[in-house]
Amino acid sequence: MSSDQSPKTDQKQRMLEALDNKVADPHPLEQYEVIGKRGVRRTDGYEKATGAARYTLDVQLPGLLYGRFLTSPYPHAKILSLDTSETQKLPGVRCVLRYDDPELPEGASLGGHELNNVAPLPAVAYFEGEECGAFVVADSEEIAEAALKTIKVEWEQRPFLLDVEKAIEPGAPLTNPEDYPGSNVHQVYLEGHGDVEQGFAEADKVVEFKWTFGLNTWIGPERPCGVWRWNGDFAAVWVKQQRPHIAKRAMSTWFGGIPMSHIDIHCLYQGASFGGWSQMAWNLGGHYCAAVASKRTGRPVKWVFSRREDFYGGNMDAGVFYVKVGFKLDGTIMAVAERGVTLNQMMPTFGIVAHLLENTKIPHVQGRTEAVWVNKGHNVPTRCEMNINCYTVNLVFNHVAAALGMDPVEVALLNDGAEGHDMEWLNARKAELGFEVRDSLRECVEKGKAAIGWDEKWHAPGAKKLPNGRMHGLGFCWTHEWDDSAGSSEIGIMFERNDGSVTILGCRADVGVNAETTYCQIAADELGVPVETVRFKHQDDAGFYTMTPDTSTNLSVNGWAVRSAARILKQKLLETAVAPRAKTQLTSFPPAFPDLRPEDLDVRNGVIFEKANPDNNMTIADFIGPSGAQGPLTSTVGEPLLVGKEGIGYPYRGTPPMFDHGWHIQRGCYLGVRLKFCRQAHFMEVEVDTETGEVDIRKVVTVNDVGKVINWDGCEGQAYGGAIMGIGRGLIEEVVYDPRTGVMLNGNLLNYKIPTMMDYGEIETIMVETGMGYGPYGTVGIGEDVATVLPALVGPAIHNALGVWVEGFPTTPDRVLQALGKA
Amino acid sequence: MATVQERGIVREQTVQLLVNGESHSVRVQPQWTLQYVLSDKLGLTGTKEFCGEGACGACTVIMDGRPVLSCMMLAIECGGKSIETVEGIARSNHPLIEAYIKYSCMQCGFCTPGFVVTAKALLDRNPDPTVEEIREAMVGNLCRCGTYPAHIKAIQEAAAVLRGGGGRE
């Protein structure tokens, strides 16, 4: 770091810099040691490989009790009466909470994005399997489960609907008359630019198509759960929660208010998350009931969901969609209009055509989302909210290419741009903001095409039958790379005494993307210390709250905060190294590096040294000195100090605590806030059996322009892992409800299939590094991208194989056969 | 279930389990699964419950030399059995552990111990498995994060180390 890049210690300046995330990184490092290096050992590797890693579900405490919820057997029903007299008598039952318990409020803030107001134990169920009516706490999970069966409930069944299009028909019964008394449509969201009618008029050709998205879900291997223990007035809480800080904020509003300082959050390893459960509006309902039961019993209470109960929450992208596209004969797209009817979508504001607006030059775009409630579980962003948008981009581009007989890659390159502007305009913006001007999509497709053998293998739809009798297909899809959400991050960082190792503090959920190692790499290079000596203590409540693993936004927020903290701490270290360390009544202590300025020094591999004379050096450990104040200290630095009548020599430590902090704030980065420059492109080769409808994925090539790779294992893991999850979502995964009873039919892993090691063919992951991200060092997120973009790719790949479009996703064999007119 | 207990259909029994070479005398209720006893009674929480019905492999342990799903076995039936869990494999410094870290086989990590145990059982009976043999042996282990490709590399490397050939660099 040169002197003109010195971090500002002025608070006002620091705050302004924390908000400035809309330009290229003005001060990247001149030299990288572990940033971008392959083979950096992951910090959680040994724990997770050996089974030592602890999850909330593993928490065992003396006297621990277990809580389970009563759930509704009907898709829409009200509790008229509840008899729990037998339940209380069952041996091992310690507490029964009922919906009419005077201590339970009608509403409390129980999770979701912001503070909300929902009932911990509602009396009405709006889907089969919804937690309502009672919470039973017992000595074991199985006793609690058995006790639930002794509850006698008188239900008033109500009419129910499962189909979104039936729910918007005139005269349809209301699916949730309490919250939505007027209509089953709870929100209509409009987005777009230009005038689509003008665009269709200017087009040479117009095509219309429908597509549907079957409900899928996240399947976190660790079931939703949590533990509450009252330590007197203090609450100790274990959360299986992607958003520990938001959870704590909600908890602080309970029971008339608990000071934040009285709540200790423990956020252990998370058995996967994918957004999902952590965003549900009721996800702290278990904690609320556990807190009440814990107070009553004087014992810690763990609440748990069954595996089936986890299945009721889903991906918020399910629905039915109608698209109209107008385009010129050369492939230039003039207008896109799409109407979507979505299923129990909590936040329709993410839209359905956002990616067409964000990264194409299409001048006329219009999207209309009709968000409808039916009697199924709630659906939330699940790796992630961009799923519909990705489907839209890829189906639009591939339909246009198919209608014109063009290569879809060419159609993509022709229409690349941003917010209705072409690449020339976009390139001018890149330059203005300080980025190197590169053509990210072209770089991605060139690498991807070579890897899959596109130019040799691509053919007209339905044109290639293989010797094994199957049809061969190639598919291509693309969109931008994102790190989209708003978020803030606070990070503490310190050199430990005695050995100068580095601790990063900030409570955050580890969902497995190897972010913790990544932050250690940033701190190591910024401070000049070996990465092995850096640890991110993320599981405990140290008062610093980081951005969650959310919308691929980890690094673009927390990365800046770690870097800022590390730069300030390094500056503090160097300023202290040249300053007199102490004056006592007897003597004063010279600086560790006398007659030098901070900028004359640097740190590398844990050693402070004079740049002009590297032999003049001292390890950070020696400089900072040991801990402890009783008895002789052993610092080798400084002259011995003679104190006391006995004249015992106490070598003097003389350095202040080496601690500082950093923070960063990212405003919402959705449409219009900042332009997207980095692209991703994916390719898929399939074989389709026209007799069985089976689709065999032979090869997938993922290409992601992540700006700059900091941690290779993290980036590649998200790419191939995302590809496998994406294949599952696009091809096989769907939560099925019985239309007659409204009961979920496949809420288990035997009947809801996710990909296994035999289901994905070959996967090749390619990273492109254009440096055009807004994150530190030019990075951009990758966590959600591939798993979200890739599912839509199975559609075009199957179309290329068969020459017909499969309307419904997932493209299960029955839907493929239907497209072929065989079912 | 509590009802089973109340009616006295089957009574609690003491079983002897040899877990990772150590003998444990455990008082078990008849409905307790081996997975529950290992994690909740013996504190060996590396044996994880994911699906709870024999569909995912997260609870795999090696019993008398064979990989078994401990969520599908009643502890009361396991008296006298020799059981190896991921903790035992780690304590023996099996090369799978280092290979798993090197190839970043874990993401959220919840399913990882089950993979390690299944892989160890594979290498016990097949010191030089092909990619297809690895896929076949591991197909019962589900990973929602999609870490599968990394496991193949790690298992091949651990196999090479066990054969004395050293790891690939």
- How far apart CA A525 and CA A205 sit, in angstroms, is 55
Among candidate residues A341, A283, A285, the one with its CA nearest the CA of residue A313: A283
The b/e string for A344-373 (b: 16+ C-beta within 10 A; e otherwise) is bbbbbebbbbbbbbbbbbbbbbbbbbbbbb
Cβ neighbour number for residue B92 with a 10 Å cutoff = 12
Kindly determine whether residue B51 and residue A46, on different chains, have CB atoms separated by under 8 Å: no
- DSSP code of residue B118: H
> How far, in Å, CA of A571 to CA of A296, rounded?
52
Do residues A643 and A586 make contact, with C-beta atoms less than 8 angstroms apart?
yes
Domains of chain A, earliest start first: 3-50+485-666 (3.30.365.10), 62-158+220-310 (3.90.1170.50), 314-484+669-819 (3.30.365.10)
Q: Give, rounded to a whole angstrom, the gap between the first and last alpha carbons of chain B.
A: 52
Residue A513: list chain B partners with CB under 8 A: 107
To the nearest whole angstrom, how far is the Cα of A561 from the nearest Cα of chain B? 23
Dihedral sign for Cα A618, A619, A623, A626, please: negative
Which of the two residues, A381 and B83, has the higher pLDDT score? B83
Strand partners, A326: A206, A335
- Looking at beta carbons, which residues of chain A come within 8 Å of B85? 51
Contact check, Cβ <8 Å, A749/B46? no
Query: Chain B contact for A143, CB < 8 A?
Result: yes
pLDDT score of A632: 42
3-state secondary structure A651-669: ECCCCCCCEEEEEEEECCC
Chain A hits for B40, Cβ within 8 Å = 60
- Distance, first Cα to last Cα, chain A: 66
What's the pLDDT tens digit per position in A647-702?
434 445 568 889 999 999 887 776 667 899 999 999 999 999 999 999 999 999 99
Chain B: give the shortest CA distance to residue A415, in Å.
32
**Which residue in chain A is spatially nearest to B56 when comparing CA positions?**
A749
Q: How many angstroms separate the CA atoms of A322 and A213, rounded? A: 12
Residue contacts between A and B (CB atoms, under 8 Å): 174
**Contact yes or no for B147 and A721 at CB 8 A:** yes
Could you tell me if A39 lies within 8 Å of chain B, comparing CB atoms?
Answer: yes
pLDDT at B167 (0 to 100)? 47
Produce one character per residue of B64-73: b if its CB has 16 or more CB atoms within 10 Å, e if not.
eeebbbbbeb
Chain A residue numbers with beta carbons less than 8 Å from the beta carbon of B100 are: 45, 49
Closest of A540, A573, A634 to residue A263, by C-alpha: A540
**Banded model confidence at residue B3, pLDDT cuts 50, 70, 90:** low
Interchain CB distance below 8 Å, B56 and A713? no
Q: Which residue of A has its CA nearest to B59?
A: A51
Q: What share of chain B is helix, strand, coil (3-state, %, to 5)?
A: 40, 15, 40
- Say if residues B33 and B17 touch (Cβ distance below 8 Å): no
**Cross-strand bridge partners of residue A696:** A687
Query: Running DSSP on this structure, what letter comes out for residue A445?
Result: H
Cβ–Cβ under 8 Å, residues A637 and A650: no
A603, HSE (Cβ side, Cα atoms, 13 Å)? 25
Maximum separation of any 2 CA atoms in chain B, in Å? 61
| The two structure tokens encoding residue A292 | 């009440």
Question: Where do we find the tokens 């908000």?
Answer: A19
Residue numbers in B near A86 (CB within 8 A) = none
Please report residues of B whose CB lies closer than 8 A to that of A57. 49
Q: What integer pLDDT is reported at residue A670 of this predicted model?
A: 67
Q: Kindly list the distances between the CA atom of residue A630 and the CA atoms of A626, A634, A635, A640, A799, in Å, as whole numbers in the listed order.
A: 11, 12, 14, 16, 76
Judge whether A51 and B47 are in contact, CB under 8 Å: yes
Q: Is A271 on the interface with B (CB under 8 A)?
A: yes
**Nearest CA distance, A512 vs chain B (angstrom):** 4
- Give the residue from A500, A396, A483, A493 showing the smallest Cα distance to A706: A483
Respond yes or no on whether the N-terminal peptide bond of residue A95 is cis (omega within 30° of 0).
no
**What residues in A contact B97, CB-CB < 8 Å?**
46, 49-50
- Predicted confidence at residue B169, as pLDDT, reads 43
pLDDT of residue A719: 98
Please give the domain boundaries of chain B with CATH numbers for all domains.
2-88 (3.10.20.30), 89-162 (1.10.150.120)
B135: nearest CB among A145, A271, A758: A758
* A309-325 exposure pattern, b = at least 16 Cβ within 10 A, e = fewer: bbbbbbbbbbbbbebbb
Does residue A270 belong to the interface with chain B, where contact is any CB pair within 8 Å? yes
CA distance A52 to chain B (A): 6
Partner B contacted by A748 (CB < 8 A) = yes
* CB < 8 Å to A269, chain B: 108-110
Q: Which residues of A touch B122 (CB under 8 A)?
A: none
The count of residues in chain A is 823
**According to the model, what pLDDT value does residue A386 have?**
82
β strands within B8-167, DSSP E? 13-19, 22-28, 60-63, 66-69, 82-84
A512 neighbourhood in chain B, CB within 8 Å: 106-109, 145
Spell out a b/e string for A727-746, using b for 16 or more CB atoms within 10 Å of the CB, else e: bbbbbbbbbebeeeebebeb
B48 with A221: Cβ contact below 8 A? yes
Q: What number of helices (H) and strands (E) belong to chain A?
A: 23, 33
Question: What's the CA gap between A358 and A421, in Å, rounded?
Answer: 10
> Does residue A110 contact residue A120 with C-beta atoms inside 8 Å?
yes
Nearest CA in chain A to B154: A49
**Best of B32, B100, B107 to mutate (most A CBs within 10 Å, chain A):** B107
What's the pLDDT at A588?
56
The ipTM is 0.95
- Exposed/middle/buried for A14, CB within 10 Å: 0-12, 13-18, 19+? middle
Please tell me whether the peptide bond between A810 and the residue prior to it is cis, using omega within 30 degrees of 0. Answer: yes
Is the separation of the CB atoms in A535 and A611 below 8 Å?
no
Contact A126, A376 (CB under 8 A): no
From B79's Cα to the closest Cα of chain A, the distance in A is 22
Interface contact A51-B85, CB threshold 8 A: yes
The answer to whether the CB atoms of A749 and B101 lie below 8 A apart is no
Q: How many Cα atoms occupy the beta-carbon half-sphere of A9 within 13 Å?
A: 7
Q: What is the mean pLDDT of chain B?
A: 93
Chain A residue with Cα closest to B93? A50
Beta strand pairing status for A205-213 and A808-809?
Answer: parallel
Assigned token pair, A807: 């309307």
Q: Tokens representing A560?
A: 């800046």
Interatomic CA distance for residues A203 and A440, integer angstroms: 28
A44 touches chain B (CB under 8 A): yes
Whole-prediction pTM: 0.95
- Å between B164 CA and nearest CA of chain A: 22
Contact between B101 and A723 using a beta-carbon 8 Å cutoff = no
Using an 8 Å Cβ cutoff, are A408 and A476 in contact? yes
3-class state of residue A670 by DSSP:
coil
Chain A interface disruption, residue of B108, B117, B134, most A CBs within 10 A: B108
Q: Is A459 on the interface with B (CB under 8 A)?
A: no
Please provide residue B134's backbone torsions phi and psi, each rounded to the nearest 5 degrees.
Answer: -65, -45
A773-798 as b/e, with b when 16 or more CB fall inside 10 Å?
A: bbbbbbbbbbbbbbbbbbbbbbbbbb
A270: closest CA of chain B, how far (Å): 6
CA distance B128 to chain A (A): 19
Q: Who's near A290: CB < 8 A, 6+ residues apart?
A: A67, A137, A226, A227, A228, A301, A302, A303
pLDDT at A17: 63
pLDDT at A5: 46
Please identify among residues 481-510 of chain A the ones whose CB lies closer than 8 Å to any CB of chain B: 510
Half-sphere exposure of A422 (CA within 13 A, CB side): 6
Chain B residue numbers touching A146 (CB-CB < 8 A): 1-3
Between the CA of residue A644 and those of A212, A378, A638, A647, what are the distances in Å? 84, 71, 18, 5
Scanning A216-245 for CB atoms below 8 A from B yields 218-222
Confirm or reject contact between A721 and chain B (CB < 8 A): yes
Q: Quote helix, strand, coil % in chain A, to nearest 5.
A: 30, 25, 45
pLDDT lower than 70: segments of chain A: 1-20, 581-589, 627-654, 670-672
Mutate to test the interface with B, among A50, A267, A274, A720 (most CBs of B within 10 A): A50
| C-alpha to C-alpha distance for A796 and A526, rounded to whole angstroms | 45
